[in-house]
Amino acid sequence: MSEQQPVDVFAADELGDGDAKTIPAKAAGWSDAITVFRDGDAYYALDDTCPHEKASLGEGWLEDGEIECPLHQSRFSLKTGAVTCLPATRNARTHQVEVIDGRVWLTPGQSPVDAG
Amino acid sequence: MSGVSSESGPVPNHVAVIGAGLAAVSLCAALRAGGFTGRLTMVGDEPCHPYDRPPLSKQFLAGESDAAQISLQPAEWYLAQGIDVRLGVPVAAFDAGTGRVELANGSALVADVLVLATGGRARRLTVPGGQSATVLRTRADAEALRDRLSPGVRVLIAGAGLIGAEVAATATRHGCHVTLVDPSPLPMEHAIGPHAARALHAQHAAHGVTVVSGGVRAIEPGRVALSTGASVSADTDTDADAVVDGDRDVDVDVVVAGIGIVPNVELAEDAGLDVDNGVLVDSEMRTTSAPNVYAIGDIARVSGTPHRSEHWDNARRTAESAARAILGQPPEPRRAPWFWTDRYGTHLEMAGLYDPDAEAVARGDIEGGAGSVFYVRDRLCVGAVSLDRPLDIRAAQRLIDRRIPLDTARLADEGVDLHRLLVARA
């Protein structure tokens, strides 16, 4: 398996502040689709499917460093994937995402390196 | 010991919750998340662990999700949270003064704080034979109904509100022949406004459901007598809908009553608490008659407000309010009410309240199948309803809760990003 291989997913400037782009599971080489979010100048990547029920976090509401599920308003920290508001009880899986030379590189399955 | 003290007195040593639905589980979760380390007991009359009710008329009834998937928490969670769960045991009575709770199996417990979360039971039709109609409230109800829905089965549903309409949609997916009866020509208009109500109600006929504007007069085995004003046929592409005036009989295999719930307030009444269309509580869900007793979810009515709320979100919010009060924490600001319904593959959400006197500002085309209507008064959003555009409701909730002044022209302009609407402009 090549789970730890970085994947070049798109140009960094394709994503405006507060936008999200979902990479299909096949393209990401991962068990779930992965959504890359941009919040300010930071990029984050989470499993797209809400751990609560089948809903796409990529279609959620991004605000204050959190993504809110479009269906039942569970909220997750973009940085850690931790649930910050019920009804979800399981955290969202996070992935490493880096911007190199204007391209967004996603490493499915690898936890993000905390730059802070 | 849980010796944290607060303005409103010490945190109790033992909290007992009567009821085991979403409100009860949310209360337990909020208490533990808020640092409560005392005893926590939850008593429920159903034999199974608490489950989520919205899927009962949707995915669960459709056979797409099973009991484990609609369980609110896995059994281990209650153990890990230190919750003493007593299942399949109705409560016989409680004494507000002493905090003593008598269970139907003869045992008893004593708690410093009691939380009533007894929910409601399905309302029954009072017409002759009305007791024979199937209802949908519990998981067992849903399992029994699901087993009877199969291709060709003739199903008549009384009530085209949330439950009735969702059961109608699910029954069509099972291949049933569905008749939906409601006295209102436009069900739910009072709750969601005319645009969304028209869009939703039109779906029934478009999916082959026979919609009858009328009522059930009597139920006999295999047959239902209707009193009808007019009926609209299931023909999808016709403007020559069959209109039938007067009474008539319909042959059916299954009759479902989806006409609302009756709050389970008898225990509170027997205990001498103030009950008037619900157990009366203050804004922190403390009963007006006993400071150590709270009521949350479907049964609670905040004193001075006209209605109880029976929505899923209200069960959670009232549980969180009660937990904060029990822990001596200050109340959080009230949030706009919110609910959703799913039918025929579309998802409707409503936030805040429909106000017929407010300006209705459209975004997208709700009657065309995807769009929203925002209700605006004095530049403030008071409510919003959306079909298949939940993010519009995410924005509306924030507009309502934060009282952000709106420019209605920008609101109606789809070119203006929803997030930008939250930034007030002078």
Average pLDDT of B286-300?
97
Rounded to whole angstroms, the Cα distance separating B139 from B66 reads: 10
CATH code assigned to A7-107: 2.102.10.10
Helix (H) / strand (E) element for B22: namely helix B22-33
Cβ atoms of residues B422 and B404 within 8 Å = yes
Full 3-state SS string of A11-58: EHHHCCCCCEEEECHHHHCCCCCEEEEEECCEEEEEECECCCCCCEHH
Cβ atoms of residues B360 and B366 within 8 Å = no
What percentage of chain B exceeds 90 in pLDDT?
Answer: 88
Q: What is the pLDDT of residues A2-16, one digit of tens each?
A: 457 899 999 998 988
B323 contacts on A by Cβ (under 8 Å): none
Rounded to whole angstroms, the Cα distance separating A87 from B42 reads: 19
Most confident of A63-72, A92-101, B222-231: A92-101
**ipTM of this predicted complex?**
0.76
Task: Quickly list H helices, B149-294.
Answer: 162-173, 189-192, 194-206, 266-270
For residue B82, which of B138, B36, B139, B17 has the smallest C-alpha distance?
A: B36
Q: Closest Cα of chain B to A4: distance in Å?
A: 31
Average pLDDT of A80-107?
89
- Residue B289's identity, in one-letter code, is S
pTM of the model as a whole? 0.88
Cβ atoms of residues B42 and B83 within 8 Å = yes
Rounded to whole angstroms, the Cα distance separating B189 from B200 reads: 10
For residue B349, which of B370, B364, B331 has the smallest C-alpha distance?
A: B370
Mutating which of A61, A67, A68 best tests the B interface, going by the most B Cβ atoms within 10 A?
A61
Q: What is the pLDDT of residues B28-69, one digit of tens each?
A: 999 999 999 999 999 999 999 999 999 999 999 999 999 998
How many degrees, rounded to 5, is the angle at CA B369 between CA B372 and CA A17?
50
Strand partners, A84: none
Has residue A115 got a pLDDT over 80?
no
A73 contacts on B by Cβ (under 8 Å): 338, 394
Q: What is the pLDDT of residues A21-79, one digit of tens each?
A: 999 999 888 889 999 999 988 999 999 988 777 788 988 999 889 999 887 788 999 99
The answer, for A39 touching chain B at a CB cutoff of 8 Å, is: no
Dihedrals phi, psi of A37, to nearest 5 degrees: -110, 145
Instruction: Give all domains of chain B, ordered by start, each with its CATH number.
Output: 14-121+261-326 (3.50.50.60), 130-257 (3.50.50.60), 345-421 (3.30.390.30)
Joined tokens for residue B393:
């409701």
Interchain pair B26, A86: CB under 8 A: yes
Burial B134-153 (b: 16+ CB within 10 A, else e): bbbbbbebbeebbeebeeeb
pLDDT value, residue B231:
53
Joined tokens for residue B104:
């139907």
Q: Across the A/B interface, how many CB contacts are shorter than 8 Å?
A: 24
Rounded to whole angstroms, the Cα distance separating B36 from B374 reads: 40
Average pLDDT of B111-125?
97
Q: In the block, which residue shows the tokens 């905040």? A: B302
pLDDT value, residue A1:
45
Mark which residues 249-278 of B lie under 8 Å from A by CB: none
Q: What is the pLDDT of residues B320-371, one digit of tens each?
A: 999 999 999 999 998 999 999 999 999 999 999 999 999 999 999 999 889 9
For B97-116, the DSSP string reads TTTEEEETTS-EEE-SEEEE
Q: Which DSSP letter does residue B353 get?
A: -
pLDDT value, residue A34:
94
Name every residue whose Cβ is closer than 8 Å to that of residue B66 and which is 6 or more positions away in sequence. Answer: B60
Joined tokens for residue B209:
């459901």
The whole-angstrom distance between residue A69's C-alpha and the CA centroid of its chain comes to: 12
Question: Domains of chain A: which residue ranges?
Answer: 7-107
Q: Closest Cα of chain A to B339: distance in Å?
A: 10
Q: What is the pLDDT of residues B134-156, one digit of tens each?
A: 999 999 999 999 999 999 999 99
Interchain pair A63, B29: CB under 8 A: no
Full 3-state SS string of B290-303: CCCEEECHHHEEEC
Q: How far, CA to CA in Å, does B20 sit from each of B73, B268, B297?
A: 12, 16, 11
Q: What is the CA radius of gyration of chain B?
A: 23
Strand partners, B257: B158
pLDDT value, residue B240:
37
Closest in A18, A61, A86 to B394, CB measured: A61
The answer, for B180 touching chain A at a CB cutoff of 8 Å, is: no
The whole-angstrom distance between residue B330's C-alpha and the CA centroid of its chain comes to: 27
Higher pLDDT, B187 or B3: B187
pLDDT value, residue B230:
55
The answer, for A70 touching chain B at a CB cutoff of 8 Å, is: yes
